């Protein structure tokens, strides 16, 4: 298929022999938002030929002309080895690896489009999406396994604001895969002096940590927006993590995953720094903005809002009590008063911080 956006992808290289990475691999990043752009720049700076695909042809053409994603990451210059394109078929032609960094609601559709556009069979897939599919309550890797069952899969998550990544500020993240060769491939192409990769195999724990932290960050923003103080925020974040751990272990995750970068690390970042869209969203609600008004002011996807529906669904199905999640769901989707609801959490009855081992009920 001929490209219609006046850009040419770099020439494809041969597949890496014996699972090793060539000095210059041919890679594609799907999703030209802030996170996808930051990852594409990171890969390009590491010496790889990268196609950055986005569906907005005008935005992609502007990016190719200016060599900058002026809408989301104006501080970052696109390397010469990075090719913005709106032609999906050319973006994935001859690639040795694909990274998907789109909002959770778009993940299934984009993976399906990539398969139809000729994604090379068994091409390794790295999902950098944080969230859950609202309609099915599936985690990103579960969506990936349904859509591309024959492709080895990995997840990328952890405390990583895109703006800091593109400015080359030190960042450490978790890359999880049950396939050793896939984990090694993506760790090799991404890891460098400022972007450190820690590998693991707990897909459920990494995915749930990346999704759930956005929900808890909305609560932290609400709490701070109402002026409830640092003590309340700290309590909310800590108990929010406990909720995610209860659900995660019920779904087969490892407890220690939630103590790592993709768990408590990402939660602390998202719940305490105003670079977080989810935290800012909560603050705007506390200031009296409606959900729709808050979305407009932020101007980008707020994953926690969509994830909240799926997380509540998954919690009910699993029979796990998650008071903070339930309270936030009541605020956003049932018209509950935000301040009264948060106060109600603090007025809950006394209990043990660490209940009997194996309990899935709220502490």
pLDDT tens column, 251-263: 999 999 999 999 9
pLDDT tens column, 84-134: 999 999 999 999 999 999 999 999 999 999 999 999 988 999 999 999 999
Q: What percent of the chain has pLDDT over 90?
A: 85
Query: Which one of the listed residues 213, 254, 297, 317 is annotated catalytic?
Result: 213
pLDDT at 270 over 90: yes
Residue 22's alpha-carbon distances to 64, 181, 279, in angstroms, are: 26, 14, 40
Please provide the average confidence, as pLDDT, over all residues in the chain.
Answer: 91
pLDDT of residue 6: 40
pLDDT at 167 over 60: yes
If you average pLDDT over residues 171-180, what whole number do you get?
98
Provide the 3-class DSSP secondary structure of residue 331. helix
pTM exceeding 0.85? yes
pLDDT at 17 over 70: no
pLDDT tens column, 68-92: 999 999 999 999 999 999 999 999 9
Among 157, 164, 190, which residue's Cα sits nearest to residue 265?
157
Which domains does the chain carry? 17-201 (3.40.50.720), 211-346 (1.10.1040.10)
pLDDT of residue 299: 87
pLDDT tens column, 322-362: 999 999 999 999 999 999 999 888 776 556 656 655 555 55
Query: In 3-state terms, the chain is what percent helix, strand and coil (to 5)?
Result: 50, 10, 35
Q: Which residues contact 329 (CB under 8 A, 6 or more apart)?
A: 308, 309, 312
pLDDT of residue 122: 87
Q: Which helix (H) or strand (E) covers residue 282, if one does?
A: helix 277-286
Q: Is 213 a catalytic residue?
A: yes
Q: Which of the two residues, 84 and 300, has the higher pLDDT score?
A: 84
Cα gap 305→294, rounded to integer Å: 11
pLDDT at 10 over 70: no
Q: Which residues contact 155 (CB under 8 A, 6 or more apart)?
A: 126, 127, 128, 140, 141, 174, 175, 176, 177, 203, 206, 207, 210
Cα gap 73→54, rounded to integer Å: 15
pLDDT tens column, 209-246: 999 999 999 999 999 999 999 999 999 999 999 999 99
The dihedrals phi and psi of 198, each to the nearest 5 degrees, come to: -110, 125
Angle at 246 between CA 243 and CA 250, to 5 degrees: 145
If you average pLDDT over residues 292-312, what whole number do you get?
92
């Amino acid at each position: 298929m001929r490209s219609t956006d006046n850009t040419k992808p770099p020439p494809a290289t041969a597949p890496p022999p014996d699972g090793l990475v060539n000095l210059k691999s041919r890679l594609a990043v799907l999703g030209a938002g802030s996170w996808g752009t930051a990852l594409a720049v990171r890969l390009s700076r590491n010496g790889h030929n990268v196609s950055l695909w986005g569906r907005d042809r005008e935005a992609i053409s502007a990016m190719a002309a200016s060599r900058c994603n002026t809408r989301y990451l104006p501080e970052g210059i696109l390397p010469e080895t990075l090719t913005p394109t709106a032609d999906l078929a050319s973006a994935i032609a001859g690639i040795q690896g694909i990274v998907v960094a789109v909002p959770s609601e778009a993940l299934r559709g984009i993976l399906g489009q990539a398969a139809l556009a000729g994604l090379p069979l068994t091409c390794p897939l790295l999902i950098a999406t944080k969230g859950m599919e609202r309609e099915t309550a599936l985690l990103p890797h579960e969506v990936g396994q349904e859509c591309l069952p024959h492709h080895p899969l990995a997840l990328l998550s952890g405390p990583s604001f895109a703006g800091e990544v593109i400015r080359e500020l030190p960042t450490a993240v978790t890359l999880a895969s049950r396939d050793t060769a896939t984990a090694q491939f993506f760790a090799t192409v991404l890891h460098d002096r400022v972007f450190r990769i820690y590998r693991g195999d707990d897909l459920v724990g990494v995915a749930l940590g990346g999704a759930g932290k956005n929900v808890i960050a909305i609560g932290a923003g609400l709490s701070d927006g109402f002026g409830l103080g640092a003590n309340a925020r700290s309590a909310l974040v800590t108990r929010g993590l406990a909720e995610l751990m209860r659900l995660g272990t019920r779904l087969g995750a490892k407890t220690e995953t939630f103590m790592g970068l993709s768990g408590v690390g990402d939660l602390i970042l998202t719940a305490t720094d105003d670079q977080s869209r989810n935290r800012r969203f909560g603050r705007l609600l506390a200031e009296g903005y409606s959900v729709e008004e808050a979305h407009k002011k932020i101007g980008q996807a707020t994953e926690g809002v969509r994830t909240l529906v799926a997380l509540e669904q998954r919690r009910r199905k699993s029979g796990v009590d998650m008071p903070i999640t339930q309270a936030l769901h009541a605020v956003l989707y049932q018209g509950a008063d935000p301040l009264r609801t948060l106060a109600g959490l603090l007025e809950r009855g006394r209990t043990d911080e660490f209940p009997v081992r194996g309990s899935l009920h709220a502490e």
